[in-house]
Amino acid sequence: MTRTRTAPEVKWVANEMAAVRGELERIEKSMARLVQLRSKLQEDLAALEHVAEQLATVPPAARDLSVRTHGRYGTRGALRNWLRQVLQQAYPRALDSLSLTEQAIAVFGLQFTSTRERYRFTTDILGSALRKLVEYGEVERVHDVSRPSNRIGAWRWKMPDCNLDELRQRHATR
């Protein structure tokens, strides 16, 4: 059996074709999911518009309004409340942003169409919720905030300060 050698340019073209095919398959799956979601939302909107036509109290201007809702994570504040719960359960350990992202994907059933979209969720949405909890004094950063922003952050539930008597009482109850 003789061993053949494939030219580098042939390997490159084959790899690029495979990568493009894979990306197209991923996009097709995302598009199918979005088409299905769009169809459902259009049905919901048609039903709501039908009801609005029958109600005399709905002003005409309100029928054309659109807003972006908080429905992606359930009720308003659901993501932040979930973060509180997860960080409290992990205390005194800290959790990094990537593991929190993985857990959020599983809990909320999130699907991202690209790595950029996933990165934006981690830095913008999850990061914003964590920074807000830091602002409230409920969570503390374990990472150095002066380092470059593209690094992974670590977060920990912040226990309220207590005096020596409270520490003794806590220790005695263990």
The pLDDT tens digits for 88-107 are 998 888 898 899 999 988 88
Per mean pLDDT, which range of 14-18, 71-75, 103-107 is the poorest? 71-75
Q: Which residue has the higher pLDDT, 20 or 109?
A: 20
Place of tokens 């005409």: 60
Q: Which residue has the higher pLDDT, 52 or 18?
A: 18
Give the residue among 158, 153, 80 at the shortest CA–CA distance from 123: 153
| Other beta carbons within 10 Å of 92 | 7
Are 154 and 142 contacting, i.e. CB atoms less than 8 angstroms apart? Answer: yes
Residue 149 backbone dihedrals phi, psi, to 5 degrees: -75, -15
CA 4 to each of CA 1, 7: distance values in angstroms, whole numbers, following the listed order: 9, 10
Q: Report pTM.
A: 0.55
Peptide bond into 148 cis (omega under 30): no
Residue 49 has pLDDT above 70, yes or no: yes
* Rounded CA separation 122/112 (Å): 11
Give the residue among 146, 144, 147, 153 at the shortest CA–CA distance from 124: 153
* Rounded CA separation 100/103 (Å): 5
Alpha helices, DSSP H, located in 55-114 = 78-90, 97-108
